[in-house]
Structure 1
Amino acid sequence: MSTAPARVLCVDDHPVVRAGLRALVGTDPQLQVVGEAEDEPSARAAVAALDPDIVVMDVRLGSTDGIRLTAELTRANPRLGVVVLSSYAGDEEVYRATEAGARGYVLKEFAAAEIITALNEVRRGNRYVSRDIAERLARSGPRVWLTPIEQTVLGEVSRGRENEDIAAACGLSLADVEGCTTRLIEKFGCENRTDLATRAMARGFLDREADGPRVDRSAPLPRGGLAQWQLKRAQDYMAQRIEDDVPLADVAALVKLSSFHFARAFKQAVGVPPYSWLTALRMNRAIELMRDHPNMGLTEVALRVGYQSQSAFGSAFRRHHGCTPGRWRREMGD
C-alpha cells in the first residue's frame, strides 16, 4: 500500500525562493508542497489551516526571527518537523535552531543539493544538518557556554576595546574584566584576544554587523563627517545583507545618525550615495556568480544579489555594466 506524501509548507519572505523550493520539492513523489507563507502571521495561519507535516523555515523573515517562530510552532505541535533554511553557518545559530525544535538545518547556498535529502530525513523521523556544518561542529568540540557578563565582555573585546575601557563601560572592576577575558580565551581554545574575536564570530557568538576588526572610535572624523568605525560598520552591514532589502533608516540607525545626515555624510566620504555603493557591490557580486557558476540561472543570480525579479536585475546590470546579464555571459563564454 502506498504511503501519502509528506505535506510541506514553505515559509520565506522572498517569492523567488518560495517558487524555487516548490519546484525542487515537486520533483520528489514522497513530498508535496501544500502551501506558502511570506511572514510570521501568514505562517501561523497556514500551519493552522493546512496542517503540514514539515515546514521549511527561513531563519529571517523580515524583522521576524524564524528560529523564535520555530520554537512557537513546535511547542504547539511537537510532531511538526521544521527544517531551517539559513545563510548563517555559525555554531550558535545551529544550536539555537535545534533547541527551538528544528529537526533540520540547511545552508541556503547548498539548498538545491540538500533540501530534498533534509526533508526526507525529517519525514522519516530523523535529523539533518548540512554536511559542512556537521563536520565543523565535530571538529569544534563541546559547545561553549557563556555567562551574560562573558557575552558582554566578548562583544567589547571584538570591538577592539582595552580592558580599562571595557571596565568603565560595563561597570566592572579591571580585575573582573581581566579574569573574564582569560576565561574566554580558555573556553574558545585561543592564544590571544585577536584570535578570540575570530573564533567567536566563526562559531556564531558575535553579530556580524556589530563586530569585526578593531576600530578606533577616538580617531578624528574623516572628510564628510563619518568616523572610520561608522563608515566601516555601515559598509559591512550593507555588504552582509546583499541578498536582502536594506532600508536606509536601518543603516543610519546602526551608526547613530538620521537617514538624511547619514546619506549626505556617506556620499561626501565615499563619493556616491549609499544605494549606489550597494548597487555597485551587487553588480560585482553578480559578475562573480556568473563567472564561477556558469550553470546558475539568472533568476537565482538576481535573488543572490538582492533583486526579486530577473527584469529588475537585468535593468540594473545593464545600467551598471552597459550590457544585459545574458549578453555578458555569452560573450564571456566565447
Structure 2
Amino acid sequence: MTPPVRLLIVDDHPVVRDGLRGMFTGDPGFEVVGAAADGAEALVLVANTSPDVVLMDLRMPGMDGVTAIGRLVGSGSPAKVLVLTTYDTDADVLPAIEAGATGYLLKDAPREELVRAVRAAARGESVLSPAVAGRLMGRLRAPHQPAEEPLSQRELEVLTLVARGSSNREAAARLFISEATVKTHLLHVYAKLGVNDRAAAVAAAYDRGLLTPGGR
C-alpha cells in the first residue's frame, strides 16, 4: 500500500489554511503534517516534520514564499514545493520557478486539479496551471531566440515607403528597383521583425524605433 503524501500547508490566511487542511485531511491519500503562516515558520516546520510536498503561498508578511523556496532548496531539503497563489504575473511566476518551485497553481483551480497536482509534485513532476504555463513558456523562449538582425538601409527605405502608404509597385518606382525586389526586401523585413504582413511590420518598426513619426 502506497504511504500517504505528507503535506505542509503555508498561507497567511487562517481561513485558507483551515480549508486546505480540511480538504486534504479528509483524503486518506494525504497526511497534513502542519500548517504555517509565513515562510520563516514553514522552514522550521519542514525541518521538524519532513513533508513530501509544501503547498506554498507567495505573498505573505514576514518571509515571503519565494525567499522560503530558495532557502528550502538551498538547504538540500527533499520536500517539493507547489506554489498555490492568487497571482500569475511575471513578477510572481518567474522568481518562484527560478527559486526552485516544482509547480505553480492558482487558487481558483478545481479541487480535483489541486489533488492531482500535489500527487504529481510528490513524484517530482512539474505542474503548472494553463495560464501560468503559457506565460512562462512565452518568457522562457525569448532568451533562446537569435539576436535581432538589423534591417539593411534598403530594407529601411522600402519599409519607410510602405509606412507612408506606397504599394509595392510605387515603392519600386521610387527606388528604381523591380517590384519583385521590393517583395524580396519585404520578406526579409518580415523575417527580421518576426511578423507576417505589412501592417505588422510597420507597427513593429515604430515600436522598435526604426521608424519615427515625421522621420525616415
Name the residue aligned to 2:88: 89
Q: Secondary structure at the match of 1:61?
A: coil
Name the residue aligned to 2:76: 77
Name the residue aligned to 1:28: 27
1:273-323 per-residue CA deviation (whole Å, 9 max, x = no partner) reads xxxxxxxxxxxxxxxxxxxxxxxxxxxxxxxxxxxxxxxxxxxxxxxxxxx
The 3 A distance-change label for structure 1 pair 132 and 86 is: same
Q: Does 1:40 align with 2:74?
A: no
Q: Percent identity?
A: 38
Q: Secondary structure at the match of 1:8?
A: strand
The CA distance in 2 between the partners of 1:52 and 1:99, in whole Å, is: 21
Task: Name the aligned partner's letter for residue 40 of structure 2.
Answer: P
Name the residue aligned to 1:18: 17
TM-score with structure 2 setting the length = 0.61
Residues 122, 128 of structure 1: 8 Å contact kept:
yes
How far is 1:121 from its partner?
Answer: 0.5
Structural mapping, 1:1-334, within 5 Å: 2-110=1-109, 112-138=111-137, 142-143=141-142, 191=203
Residues 24, 116 of structure 1: 8 Å contact kept:
no
What CA RMSD, in Å, does the superposition of the two structures yield over aligned residues?
Answer: 3.1
The CA distance in 1 between the partners of 2:6 and 2:109, in whole Å, is: 22
* Structure 2 unaligned regions, length at least 5: 145-192, 195-199, 209-216
Residues 93, 136 of structure 2: 8 Å contact kept:
no
Query: In the comparison of the two structures, how many residue pairs are matched?
Result: 154
How far is 1:90 from its partner?
Answer: 2.1
The 3 A distance-change label for structure 1 pair 40 and 140 is: closer
The CA distance in 2 between the partners of 1:44 and 1:133, in whole Å, is: 26
The CA distance in 2 between the partners of 1:40 and 1:125, in whole Å, is: 21
How far is 1:78 from its partner?
Answer: 4.3
How far is 1:44 from its partner?
Answer: 1.9
TM-score with structure 1 setting the length = 0.41
Residues 114, 130 of structure 1: 8 Å contact kept:
no
The 3 A distance-change label for structure 1 pair 96 and 31 is: same
Q: Secondary structure at the match of 1:70?
A: helix
The CA distance in 2 between the partners of 1:105 and 1:74, in whole Å, is: 16
Q: Secondary structure at the match of 1:79?
A: coil
Name the residue aligned to 2:168: none
The 3 A distance-change label for structure 1 pair 77 and 113 is: same
Residues 40, 62 of structure 2: 8 Å contact kept:
no
